[in-house]
A and B are shown apart, each in its own frame.
Chain A
Amino acid sequence: MSRNAKINTLLLLLVAALAVIPLALGLGDGKEEPFTGADAQAEAAITELKPDYEPWFAPLYEPPSGEVESALFALQAALGAGVLAYYFGVRKGRRQGAAQALARAAAGAPEAAGAPEAEEAGRTGPARES
C-alpha cells in the first residue's frame, strides 16, 4: 500500500472508531431509549420548557414507517456517494486518458532518447490539463 493509501485508510478508521466508541462504551446505557436522534431530544426539551406548545404545521409527507424512513435516508446517502464516485471516476479517466495520449505520442517519436522524458511529462501531465 502506498503512503497515500495508508493515510487515507487511517482517516477512515479514525472516523469509524469515533462512531463505534460511544456504542462500545455503552454511553447510552442510562437513557430510556439509547442513541435516539438529538432532534427528538430537542423536541422533548421544548415540550418540557413549554408544555402547552403545539406544533402548528405538519410535514406534507411523512414516511409511513421507520423502515421507509431508513430507506429514504439510505437513498440520500447513495445519491451523494454515487455523484462523488462519478466525479472521481471521471477525473481518473481523464488523467489516464491524458497519460496514455502522451505515452502514445512518445512512442511515436523517432528518437528513442526522447521517450523517457516524454513519459515523465505524462506523469506530471494531469496538473497541466484543462
Chain B
Amino acid sequence: MHIAEGFLPPLHAAAWGAASAPFVVHGVRALTREVKANPESTLLLGASGAFTFVLSALKIPSVTGSCSHPTGTGLGAILFRPPIMAVLGTITLLFQALLLAHGGLTTLGANVFSMAIAGPWAGYGVYRLLRKAGAPLMVTVFFGAFFADLVTYCVTSVQLALAFPDPASGFLGSLEKFAGIFALTQIPLAVSEGLLTVLVMRLLMQSSTSDLVRLGVAKLTGGKQAKPEAAL
C-alpha cells in the first residue's frame, strides 16, 4: 500500500508530512507515558509492534490477481489506543523505506497518515462502537482489525487521487481507478488480518489476561476470564 518513493508531488508530500507529524509526536509522548506508568507493558508493546512487522512483510495473493500485504495495526490500536500505534507503524514504515525501497522517505508522511494514523483510528473507532453495542469481544476485534486494514488502503487511494486527478473525470474518476487497485485487492486481505488478529487476541487471553484487564480490553468475570471461549 505504500506510495513509492518520489511518487507524490513535493507539495503533497510536504502537506501529508505536516499532517502526520503532530500525531507521531503525540504518539511518542503517549508511548513514553505508558512505559513509565506501566513498565510491564513494554513486552506487550514490543509484541504489538512485532505483529505489524510480520504482517506488513507478508505479500499475499488476492482476488484481483495482484498481491498486497496486511498492516497489522488493528491489534496495537485496540490494545494501546491509536496514538501509540502511530509510533509503532512509523517505525515499520521507516524500516521498509530505508532497507527495502518499499514506500519512501518523501512519501513517509502520506504512508504514516494512511497506515499508522487513519487505519488505527478507524479500526479503534469500529472496535469501540461494537463494544458499546455489546458485541462479543472477538467480533469487535475482528472488525476493528478489518477496518484498520481496509481504511488504510482507502486513504492511500484518496491520497493518490488527490495528487493525480484524471484529466477527464477528475478526482472521482481517479479515485475509482486507485480504489480498484488498492481497496478491492485488500478486502480478502483485511479478512485475513481480522482472523489473524483474533488468533493473537485469543492467545493473549490465554497467556496475558492480567495485561488485557489492565488495558481495559478484557473484563474480570469471576474466575471465568481465563477461558477465551467465554469471550467468544
- Near A by CB (< 8 A), chain B positions 1-42 give 1-7, 9-10, 40
Which of B104, B196, B202 contacts A4 (CB under 8 A)? B202
Instruction: Give A residues with C-beta under 8 Å from B.
Output: 3-4, 7-8, 11-12, 14-15, 18-23, 27-31, 34-39, 41-43, 45-46, 49-50, 53, 55-63, 69, 72-74, 76-77, 79-84, 87-88, 90-92, 95, 124, 126-130
Taking CB atoms, residues of chain A closer than 8 Å to B43 are 87, 90
Which one, B7, B67, B186, contacts A55 given CB within 8 A? B7
How many B residues, CB 8 Å from partner?
Answer: 81
A82 CA to B44 CA, complexed, in Å: 13
> Could you pull out 11 A-B pairs where Cβ atoms are within 8 angstroms?
A15-B196, A19-B61, A21-B63, A35-B66, A36-B66, A38-B62, A55-B5, A76-B54, A80-B50, A127-B225, A127-B226
Which chain A residue has the least Cβ–Cβ distance from B184? A38
State the CA gap A62–B102 with chains docked (Å).
9
Q: How far is the CA of A19 from the CA of B196 in the complex (A)?
A: 13
Instruction: Tell me if A42 and B160 are in contact (CB < 8 A).
Output: yes
Interfacial chain A residues near B57, Cβ < 8 Å: 73-74, 76-77, 80
User: Chain B at the A interface: mostly helix, strand, loop or mixed?
Assistant: helix
Which of these, A14, A23, A55, contacts B195 with CB under 8 Å? A14
User: Are A76 and B5 interface neighbours, CB within 8 A?
Assistant: no
Number of A-B contacts defined by CB within 8 Å:
206
Q: Roughly how many angstroms separate A61 CA and B96 CA in the complex, as a whole number? A: 11
Residues of B with C-beta under 8 A to A3: 229
Q: Give the interface of B toward A (CB within 8 A).
A: 1-7, 9-10, 40, 43-44, 46-47, 49-68, 95-102, 104-106, 160, 164-167, 174, 177-178, 181-182, 185-186, 188-189, 191-192, 195-196, 198-200, 202-203, 206-211, 220, 223, 225-226, 228-229, 232
Complex contacts, B2 vs chain A, CB 8 Å: 39
Contacts of B63 in A (CB 8 A): 21-22, 27
A5 to chain B, nearest CB (A): 10
